[in-house]
Structure formats: structure tokens, C-alpha cells
Amino acid sequence: MSKVERGNPNRAWLFPGQGSQVAGMGVDLLARFADVRRLCDSVLDFDIAEACTGENGHLNRTDQLQPTLYTVNYLHALALRETEGWPAVMAGHSLGEISALAVSGFLDFEQGLRLVAARGRLMHAVRDGGMAAAVRIERPALLAVLEASGLTTVDIANWNSGTETVLSGPVADLALLKDAVRAAGGILIPLKVGAAFHSRYMAGAADSLGAVLAGIVFKPGRVPVLSNVTALEYTPQDAARLLARQVREPVRWSDCMQALRRRGVTEIDEVGPGGVLRKLWAANPSDNGARSNGSPIVVAAAPTRETFCAAYRVRHAYVAGSMYRAISSVELVERMAKSGYLAFFGTGGISRTEIDSAVARLARTCAGLPYGLNILSQPERSAAEQWVVDAALRANVTVLEASAYTTLSAPLVQYRYSGSRLTAGTPYVPNRIIAKVSRGEVARKFLLPPSKEIIDDLRAKGLLTVEEARVAELAPVASDICVESDSGGHTDRGAALVLIPSILSLRTRIGSSFPASRQVRIGAAGGLGTPSAIAAVLTLGAEFVLTGSINQCTPEAGTSDSVKDLLATLGVHDMALAPAADLFEVDGQVQVVRKGTLFAARANRLQRVYREHGRWEEVDLPTRSSIERRILKDSYDSVLEKVRSRYVLQNRADRLRVLEQDPRQQLAAVFTTYLVHTTVAAIEGDAGLAADFQIHCGPALGAFNEWVQGSALEDWRNRHVDTIADALLAAVRSDSRNGETTGNARSELDRVPDPIG
């Protein structure tokens, strides 16, 4: 077999996009491939040969430059294929991606030409905004500059390399960043473009292009092509959707280059004019298995805090965990992401509409930044889990925080392995799961692959492909496990000193027979409110930390100011255990605030009545009267009727049937209504129900309040979620350097820069 037929299994073709020097390129190729030129002349409303010369201003117009560059790229590939054969894989930067798809055969040349012509017209019509390249500045430093600027109008357009990032936004706002970028050691270079490409400002063009793409039938390509949006291979099924998204989302070029290197690519050809992509290839050396947010990877190095940071492209191995009913709000997640931290949006207990709205916003505001969603175990409502999974997959959310799981669910497994593949026998899994656990038997399930029954069921339903199912047999369910000690909300009140070493030992034992589990990082949560606590769990071997309760008392938290005012006064002993609404019938408990509220006492009273009686009529009259007047604030029968009505509206015929047949189920349904309403009352700050506020919280917040006494952070209005993270970690680092044990709050904050500035 000749070299041309065989191709090169270690070579990739890279197709340049707008910004490449086209003038003077392609004239000879048009003469050589006359049929292509004739086709261009019949489709386009300008002379492409004249455009290639750079004369008469054709290349100054986006609507004419794009079809010209697409054609020149395509012709370069035809010529290269004659001498070199096919590459192993292709990638294109922005417009170049459509050239790659046409060369590979996902669509034919004429379809691609008409598509690019439409794309060029739509993008040319957008007149506002500009772009600028930030060079010689590393990504975390640039993100810090953007955050400090206070500008919310600037988007990331291209992640080109670790030290080159292109920004899009209003021209005047981009200019405001010039001095700040220079002060951080970089240079901001305005680009000669007509609009803010690959940003929110192209949303209208993306929607219109989607209508054009709907008329194209994509076919399987001969050579894989990586997507700018996901850094994964295109499929005919997702091509139209991804090409529309590409117009308004960042070009994740550095992710694509790392994906190529992990596939074994060692040589590249820049298939088109210029040499920009060759330089970017050199600027993106192998990351040794680390990945940025959204790219597939199986980490080869031993798990450490450094691999956590590399995996999620964060500044520190510090995570803001989710909180129920969006208390870990969109604003909280955005603030952390823009500061270079990972945070999770709390999906539990909110409607599907609210979830979809939050996911859509985060996809816009945090594109290219670290963020994720929480998924809460709901064994009796798998549809709720499925909704979160579907929303995450649609928006290309690449990490979920899994909470309260004791057994694995099909939606969770589907999410983990969707989009995974085998390359040279090695599994690559694009989606990550950080599983919060407090028991070894649960950690074991996440350290291993899912059961064959779950895999086969998903395969039979068409929710996993054959290749994805194969990967599911080879890779553990979790990418990271967070060991949850004494915490707010659902808690086993475990001790970190016991749990963390135990789970680390379990990973070692399982890893002796299933090596892939060795790569699962083990983190710590619960009780982390001071530098001392964080330093302690890191000493125990935790490879990342996850905070919760302390983030509830921040301006970004999605709860009421009255709750925050109370939280800021708590000490370490101001908590109590109360029944959990979702585990009421099995005596499940949550840790809540005791100070300033009667919720814990009243909820525990309902739990005792439920344990001791089989029906409401068995309860003595004085107790019934007291419960109705002081706790339910309504008659038992009225609350029961409201429960029935809710089940009817929800089409829950199964629950309605059980309710009518079992008086004890009626007791549980009525009593848990109180548990649900008290959470909502606290979040909304209902002053009339202040005595009943249910506020999930652990002792970490009491410790934090003591630590910040006398500092700017004593006032919760100054406790921005990223400010808390910076202050805690600065104190940990300071003590580590000084060889000291973390002391009192005032001395700690005196030793670090004022986090409020």
C-alpha cells in the first residue's frame, strides 16, 4: 500500500480561520482545480479568483472573506491529499472547521460553500463590537484581570493557548482592559475585525445560521474532525447543533490541541494560508493527561491537588459545593468561575423551568470557565434526575456533583459515559462526576464501573452506544470522590479523622485489582470553616476541599437577608438535627440552625408523633390541636386536601393511590409538607414564619464566624464567595510557610492582604 493510500496515523491537518493572510494565496490552486472555481462562480456573487489576489477590497468584507478562505483551505487539502494521503484526524479554527468537515465528507463542497456564504452574510451584518488578543498572560491571571475590572460585557472568544486568549465585546470596554493586562505582564492587541465574534453578541446570527443548518443532511466523515465547542469528534447527528453554537461560543483551540496530542498526534500540517496554527500547536505542549473544562481525559499521573487544578483549569483545589433550592445560585457559580474556582449550581428542589433557565445562563456567562451542576439522588423520581442529566448534556456541562446517592442510578451512569470513546484501546471520558459520600460501601460503587445490568439497560434503550457501553466497563463511575464529614443538611456526622484515611485506603485496595480507580481523586467536605480545618484535611491526604455552609452567608447565596443576618451570628454549637423531608419515613436527618428558630424542635415533635401512631385519629386531641395551631398553622384535613390536589396536578396517580389506601402515608405527607414549606419560607425571608425557618447549616459556619471577628469579613455583605476562598487559602499558605499552627481569626487576617481591598 502506498503512502498516499495509507496516510499518516500520527499526523493531523489543521485548517485556519478568519484572520489568516489570504491575499495572494490560492490563485494557482483555482487554476488547477477549474471545476471548483466554476462552482464558486455559480454560487457566489463575487469573483473568487479576484478575491484571492487581495484586490478591490473583497477580503475586507466578512461575507466575502469567509467563502474565499473556505475554498482556499479546501483546495490546499485536495493538493496535500494527492501527495500525503489522509491524516489521522482534522481540526479547524472557527471557519476552518467547516473546511475540515467538507474535506472529510461530512458535507460536500457545494453544501459547505453555501453554508459559509450564509455564515459570512450573517456575521457581516453584526456591526457592533470588536475583538482583542491578550498575549503573554496566563489564563488565571487574565481571568483575575477581567474580574477586577468589573466589566460584565466582555466574553472569552478564543482559548488559543495557555498564554493567548482572544476577547470579544464592545470596543470601548476592550480598550479599558489594556493597562490592566499590561500591569499583569501581558499585552492586549486589538484585532481588525468588524464585530465581537464568538460571543453572546452573535446569538442572533447563531440562531439564523441554525435555520440554514437545519436544511443540511450531514454524513459520516472519512476522517474524524474535532469540534471547537467540545474538543470531541463530530458526529452527523450533532454537526448542525455544534456549528450553530460555534458562532456564539468560544473556540476551545487549546483543548483541541491537547486532544490531538492525547490521540498520539506528533506532526501537523496547516492546510491553508499562513502559519498561525503551527505556532499555536507549539504553544500547546502535552499536558500529561490534564484537561481543561470540557475535554476528554483519563488522567495518567497520580492524583494530587495539582492534577485537580489542571483537570478543571482552576487556580486552587478548592470547590464551592452545591446547596439545595439554588442557594448555591447562578450568581455564586458565576462569581467563583470568573475567579478561577469550581462551583456547583444547586438544582435540588427547583422546577425544570428554573433548571433550564439557570443552565442556559451559565452556558453563556461561564463558557470556557469551570462550573458544574448538582444532581440529587431521587430514587422515587428518576425523571427529576434525568432532567438534570439531559440539561447538562445539552449544554455541554462537563461535571456534575452527585449528592445523597447510596446506589447508582441509570441517569447518573448515562451522563458519565455519554460521549466517551476508545482510542487505541484507551478510554476517554468527557464527563466528570464528583461524588459526595460518607460511607465506604457507597465510595466503593463510585470507585468501580457500574453494574452490567445498568449498562445493558442503557444500551437497550439507546442511551449509550456500543463504544460508550464498552468504556463504562473500563472506567470508574466517579472522577473524584468528596468525603463528607459533619456538615449541614444531610449528614452522617462522620469524623474526618476517621473517614478520609478510610476512603484513601479503600482506593488503594480497589486499585490493586482495578488500576483505573487509582486515578480517582479523594477530597474532603464538612467542617471546613477555618484555615486550621483545611490544613488538617490536606494533611490527612485530601486532594481537594469542598466548602458549603460558609458560602450560604454570602451576598451571592440564594437565600434571604434575614437568614444571612442570623447565620452571621452563629457559634459552633448553634446547630441541631431534624427530620429530613425526603427521608422522613426512614428517620433520615439533616443538620439545621437551632439558634433563633423553633424549626428543629417542632420538626422532631412531628417525627415522634409519626413514629408512635398509625393514623391521625390515634393522636390525642390536645396534641392534634397544638400541631394544627402552632406547627401546621392549618387543619390537618385542609393540608391533606392540598397534598391530594398537588398529586393530581403532578399526575402522580401512584402516590395518590398509596395516599388513599394508607393512613400512615397521610401522616407522612402532611408532616413533610411542613418540612418543605419551612425551607421555602427561609429562602424567601417570610417574616411571618421566622420562628419556623429551616436553615441547613453545619458547625463550620460557627467556626468561620469566630475566625473573622474584628475583620472586614465579620459583615456578611463583604463575604463574597471568592473572597472567602482567597482569604482561607492565603492563611493556609501563610501558616505553611511560617511553620505555624493556624491561630485566632484576627491574627490570621492581619497576616494576609485585606480580602476586601
Residue 141 vs residue 110, higher pLDDT: 110
In a domain, 731, yes or no: no
3-state secondary structure 594-606: CCCCCHHHHHHHH
Which residues partner with 423 through β-bridges?
426
pLDDT greater than 90 at residue 59: no
H helix or E strand, kind and range, residue 573: none
Dihedral angle sign, alpha carbons of residues 133, 135, 140, 141: negative
Q: Which residue, 431, 331, 343, 338, is CA-closest to 389? A: 431
Are the C-beta atoms of residues 138 and 162 closer than 8 Å to each other? yes
Mean pLDDT throughout 8-13?
A: 86
Residue 354 within a domain? yes
Average pLDDT over residues 459-480: 94
380 has pLDDT over 80: no
Residue 166 shares a structural domain with residue 220: no
Q: Is residue 581 part of a domain?
A: no
Q: Are 96 and 87 in contact (CB under 8 A)?
A: no
pLDDT of residue 293: 38
Return the pLDDT at 673. Answer: 95
pLDDT digits (tens, 9 = 90+) for 236-267: 988 998 999 999 988 999 989 988 998 889 99
Pairing of strands 432-437, 545-547: unpaired
- The CATH number of the domain where 11 resides is what? 3.40.366.10
Q: What is the CA radius of gyration of the chain?
A: 28
Q: CA–CA separation, 538 vs 496, rounded Å?
A: 11
What pLDDT is attached to residue 287?
A: 54
Mean local confidence (pLDDT), 518-536: 95
Could you tell me whether strands 480-484 and 421-423 are parallel, antiparallel, or unpaired per DSSP bridges? unpaired
Per-residue three-class SS string for 483-537 = EECCCCEECCCCCHHHHHHHHHHHHHHHHCCCHHHHHCEEEEECCCCCHHHHHHH
- Asked whether residue 310 falls in the same domain as residue 405, the answer is yes
- 135 and 178 in a single domain? The answer is yes
Strands (E), 16-154: 87-92, 130-135
Strand 545-547 vs strand 521-525: parallel, antiparallel, or unpaired? Answer: parallel
- For residue 653, what pLDDT band results from cuts at 50, 70 and 90? confident
pLDDT of residue 489: 79
Q: Is 53 exposed, middle or buried (0-12, 13-18, 19+ CB in 10 A)?
A: middle
Report pLDDT for 754: 29
What's the pLDDT band for 748 if we cut at 50, 70, 90?
Answer: very low
Give 111's pLDDT tier (boundaries 50, 70, 90). Answer: very high
**CA–CA gap between residue 85 and residue 215 (Å, rounded):** 31
The DSSP line for 350-382 is S-HHHHHHHHHHHHHHTTTS--EEEEE--TT-H
Say what the pLDDT of residue 753 is.
Answer: 32
* Domain range enclosing 368: 305-527+548-559
What average pLDDT does range 75-95 have in this prediction?
93
In Å, how far are 157, 287, 304 from 311, measured between CA atoms? 21, 10, 10
The answer on pLDDT for 709 being more than 60 is yes
* In contact, 290 and 310? CB cutoff 8 Å: yes
Contact call for residues 477 and 455 (beta carbons, < 8 A): no
Considering the domain architecture, whether residues 121 and 135 belong to the same structural domain is answered as: no
pLDDT at residue 18 tops 90: no
Closest CA relative to residue 104, chosen from 216, 6, 18, 226 = 226
Q: Which of 309, 436, 312, 415 is nearest to 366 (CA)?
A: 312
Residues 21 and 93 placed together within one structural domain of the fold: yes
pLDDT score for 520 = 95
Mean pLDDT of all residues in 625-640: 95
User: Chain-wide mean pLDDT for the chain?
Assistant: 89
- 24 φ/ψ sector (left φ>0, alpha ψ -120 to 50, else beta): left
Residues 118 and 138 in one domain: no
Environment class of residue 320 by beta-carbon count within 10 Å: exposed (0-12), middle (13-18) or buried (19+)? buried
Residue 44 lies in a domain: yes
pLDDT tops 50 at residue 21: yes
Confidence of residue 43 (pLDDT cuts 50, 70, 90): very high
Residue 752 is predicted with a pLDDT of 32
> What's the pLDDT at 425?
56
| Across 668-680, average pLDDT | 94
1 contacts: CB under 8 Å, gap ≥ 6: none
Mean pLDDT of 579-591: 88
pTM for this one?
0.62
* Residues 480 and 515 both lie in one domain: yes
HSE of 441 in the Cβ direction (CA atoms, 13 Å)? 2
271-323 pLDDT per residue, tens:
988 889 999 999 988 754 333 333 333 334 467 788 888 888 898 999 999 99
pLDDT of residue 292: 38
Q: Does residue 584 sit within a domain? A: no
Share of the chain above pLDDT 90, in %: 70
Which residues are CB-neighbours of 528 under 8 A, at least 6 positions away?
534, 537, 545, 546, 547, 550, 700
Beta bridge partners of 168: 131, 155
pLDDT of 296 reads: 35
Mean pLDDT of 118-132: 92
User: In this predicted structure, what is the pLDDT of residue 302?
Assistant: 61
Distance of alpha carbon 431 from alpha carbon 428, whole angstroms: 9
Please tell me the predicted confidence (pLDDT) of residue 310. 82
Residue 91 has a pLDDT of 97
Separation of CA 204 from chain center = 24
Q: What is the pLDDT of residue 556?
A: 97
Tell me if residue 168 falls in helix, strand or coil: strand
pLDDT at 212 > cutoff 90 = yes
* pLDDT given for residue 515 in this prediction: 81
Q: What is the dihedral of CA 245, 247, 249, 251, to 10 degrees?
A: 110
**Displacement of CA 193 from its chain's centroid (Å):** 30
Distances (CA, A) of 170 to 94, 128, 201, 482: 20, 7, 9, 41
pLDDT value for 570: 97
Is residue 571 one of the residues assigned to a domain? no
Q: Which of 665, 694, 723 is the last residue of a domain?
A: 694
* Shared domain check, 440 and 320: yes
556 and 329 Cβ atoms separated by less than 8 Å? yes
Which residues are bridge partners to 8 per DSSP? 87
Q: Which residues are catalytically annotated? A: 94, 198
Q: Are residues 236 and 173 in the same domain?
A: no
**Stated length of the chain:** 757
Write down the pLDDT at residue 224.
94
CA–CA distance, 53 with 25 (Å, rounded to integer)? 7
CA distance 272 to 74: 8
Angle in degrees, CA 158, 303, 469, rounded to 5: 75
Question: Does 708 reside within a domain?
Answer: no
**CA dist 595 → 107, 206, 373, 567, 569 (Å):** 65, 52, 31, 9, 9
Confirm whether 312 is domain-assigned.
yes
Q: What angle do CA 242, 248, 249 make, to 5 degrees?
A: 70
pLDDT tops 80 at residue 469: yes
Q: What grid cell was written down for 325?
A: 433550592
Task: Tell me the C-alpha distance between 163 and 135, whole Å.
Answer: 6
User: Using an 8 Å Cβ cutoff, are 22 and 41 in contact?
Assistant: no
DSSP labels for 725-748? Answer: HHHHHHHHHHHHHHT-----HHHH
Number of H helices, E strands in the chain: 33, 21
Check whether residue 361 and residue 503 sit in a common domain: yes
Q: Which residue has the cell 467536605?
A: 525
Mean pLDDT of 464-486: 94
In this predicted structure, the answer to whether residue 745 has a pLDDT above a threshold of 50 is no
- Contact, 95 vs 66, CB < 8 A? yes
Supply the CATH number for residue 150's domain. Answer: 3.30.70.250
Q: CA separation (Å) from 424 to 9, 13, 264, 286, 448?
A: 11, 20, 9, 18, 22
- Pair (380, 335) in one structural domain: yes
Q: Domain count of the chain?
A: 4
Query: What pLDDT shows up at residue 325?
Result: 93
Rounded mean pLDDT, 359-381: 91
The single residue listed with the C-alpha cell 496554527 is 277
**Mean pLDDT across 425-437:** 88
Task: Concatenate the DSSP letters of all residues of 189-215 into one string.
Answer: EE---SS--SSGGGHHHHHHHHHHHTT
Of the chain, the percentage scoring pLDDT greater than 70 comes to 92
Q: Which of 1-15, 378-392, 576-590 has the lowest mean pLDDT?
A: 1-15
What is the C-alpha to C-alpha distance for residues 83 and 100, in angstroms, rounded to an integer? 18
Per-residue cell: 76 = 490546499
- Segments of 98-170 assigned E as strands: 130-135, 155-161, 164-169
- Cβ neighbours of residue 210 under 8 Å, at least 6 residues apart? 240, 241, 244
Same domain for 142 and 222, yes or no, is: no
User: Among candidates 321, 365, 318, 309, which has minimal Cα distance to 347?
Assistant: 321
491 dihedral zone (left: phi>0; alpha: psi -120 to 50; beta): beta
